[in-house]
Chains A and B, each alone.
Chain A
Amino acid sequence: MKKLIFAASALVLSVSLVAAADDPIAVRQALMESNAASAGVAAAMLKGEMDYSPVVAKAAINALHATALAFGDYFPEGSETGGDTTASPKIWENMEGFQEAVTKFQTDSAAAAEASGKDGPADLEAFKAAITPVLGNCRGCHEDFRIQRN
């Protein structure tokens, strides 16, 4: 657990360092890595590899929610290529559709944050119900707006 919290704070630190560099591609990639870290913790609990903890569940949900609120702001014109981006050109061809997908992510993550309350979801079932719709946004958005390049 301590390791996890340490990793989470290291991640926040690295986000602020690249933000200073004013590089939207690096920022959105770091936000995505934060999403992956949250999904990883969530899945570990859902799969039973890690004991359920309401406070960790709340951290995962709130990290996803914070990312959802910020993410859509890091796709300005001019950031279509470079920095190993896997963002699809469809984002800029269909910015409205992309922002709709971001809004759906925000709506779902806000609902999960709301449901998790002050102390986090009471049990694994409640956590699963709260986070499953949020995680569905990963594939929903990646279906159209991410390109496989490796």
Chain B
Amino acid sequence: MASGDAGRGERIFWAGGCTSCHARPKAEGDARLELAGGLQLKTPFGTFTAPNISSHPEDGIGSWSVDDFANAMLRGVSPEGRHYYPSFPYTSYTRMEPQDVADLFAFMKTLPAVEGKTDGHELSFPYNLRRGIGLWKLAYMRQEPIISLPDNAPEAVRRGRYLVEVPGHCGECHTPRLFTGGPRLDQWLAGGRALEGEGTVPNITPHEDGLADWSETDIAYYLESGFTPDFDSVGGAMVAVQQNMAQLPDEDRQAIAAYLKAVPARANGYKRANGEQ
């Protein structure tokens, strides 16, 4: 791996939303740069706990090499060669540019070392069998983009595709899942049932169930300010995501908006997800 540039890595850090899961729950301000872990995701598969990924040498990832980090991000494999659970969204990160991974690692090295290991995941059978993840990866890790674009697609749409499909991992929540936990790619970004608790995650395709009424400017403004065109506000898990998006340069928010208007329009994905309704 080439050596990374911490300044460029910060942009990937915000695009990737690392802090939404790996900062302490409810962290604000600079505390969002302390990647102590501890957030629990209570899902139908069990409870996942985000680990400490601060630069602490024992409790975090401070002793990792850039190759260890790349293996985790791009292959979902720990330095000891174990599979990570895909609650860590390497299914999206696997398509990251190697230079972006190196830059991100360089930036994370500059963040504080925080003591303290987190509890492990508590999963129900059969999801507690880590070996099964290998098969899951064979089925769902892909190297091609999810949405293919015409050769003459504008640069902003391409950049947006990268940001949304890869570091931003938007599809992890906004795309409905199969019973296996894999994404339904024919329903890409069509919205899903919330994996945690009640409610839904909105359809963000240009369908009338989704963002048909939103202009690209509306989408970019929402990501910057947290306000919808009707001046409803961002809520739920998207609050932390939007705070990350607000840290990006405006051209990245515009690119995300351009891509979201270019994906195939789909009716809401959650009515049909998991065989419901």
The reply to whether A142 and B231 contact each other, CB–CB distance below 8 Å, is no
Let me know if A146 and B236 touch, CB within 8 A: yes
Beyond A139-B233, A142-B233, is A147–B198 a contact (Cβ under 8 Å)?
A: yes
- Cβ-based interface call for A143 (8 A): yes
CA distance A33 to B231 in the complex (A): 9
Count of B interface residues, CB-CB < 8 Å: 22
The yes or no answer to A111 lying at the interface (CB within 8 A) is no
Report how far A147 CA is from B196 CA in the complex, Å: 11
B76 CB–A CB distance under 8 Å: no
- Asked if A31 is at the interface of the complex by the 8 Å CB criterion, the answer is no
Enumerate chain A residues within 8 angstroms of B84, measured Cβ to Cβ.
none
B234 touches A139 (CB 8 A): yes
Q: Does B194 contact A (CB under 8 A)?
A: yes
Quick one: closest A residue to B203, CB to CB?
A150
Q: Looking across the interface, which residue of chain A has its beta carbon closest to that of B198?
A: A147
Q: Mark A132-150, 1 if CB is under 8 A from B, else 0.
A: 0001001110110011111
- Which residue of B is nearest A137, CB measured? B233
With A39-B227, A139-B226 as given contacts, are A148 and B233 in contact (CB-CB < 8 Å)? no
Interface residue ranges of A40-57 to B (CB < 8 Å): 40, 43, 47
Asked whether B201 is an interface residue with its Cβ less than 8 Å from the other chain, the reply is yes
Kindly report which residue of chain B lies nearest to residue A146, judged by CB atoms: B235
A29 to chain B, nearest CB (A): 11
Q: B235 near A36 (CB under 8 angstroms)?
A: no
Q: How far is the CA of A142 from the CA of B235 in the complex (A)?
A: 4
B231, A148: Cβ atoms closer than 8 Å: no
Q: Which residues of the partner chain A approach B200 to less than 8 Å between Cβ atoms?
A: 148-150
A37 at the interface (CB under 8 A from B): yes
Q: Which residues of B contact A40 (CB under 8 A)?
A: 230-231
Residues in chain A near residue B225, CB distance under 8 A: 43
Instruction: Kindly identify, within residues 229 to 253 of chain B, every residue whose CB is under 8 Å from any CB belonging to chain A.
Output: 230-237, 239-240, 242
Encoded as 1 (CB less than 8 Å from any B CB) or 0, chain A from 94 to 113 comes to 00000000000000000000
**Complex Cα–Cα for A12 and B202 (A):** 30
Known: A36-B231, A139-B226, A143-B237; 6 extra A-B contacts, CB below 8 A, are: A39-B231, A47-B221, A142-B239, A147-B197, A148-B194, A148-B236
A sample of 26 inter-chain contacts (CB < 8 A) reads A36-B231, A36-B232, A37-B231, A40-B231, A43-B225, A43-B227, A47-B221, A89-B198, A135-B227, A138-B226, A138-B227, A138-B234, A139-B233, A139-B239, A142-B236, A143-B239, A143-B240, A146-B235, A146-B236, A147-B199, A147-B235, A147-B236, A148-B194, A148-B202, A148-B235, A150-B202
Which positions in B face A, CB cutoff 8 Å?
194, 197-202, 221, 225-227, 230-237, 239-240, 242
The 9 A-B pairs of least Cβ separation, nearest first, read A142-B235, A138-B233, A147-B199, A143-B239, A36-B231, A40-B231, A39-B231, A146-B235, A139-B226
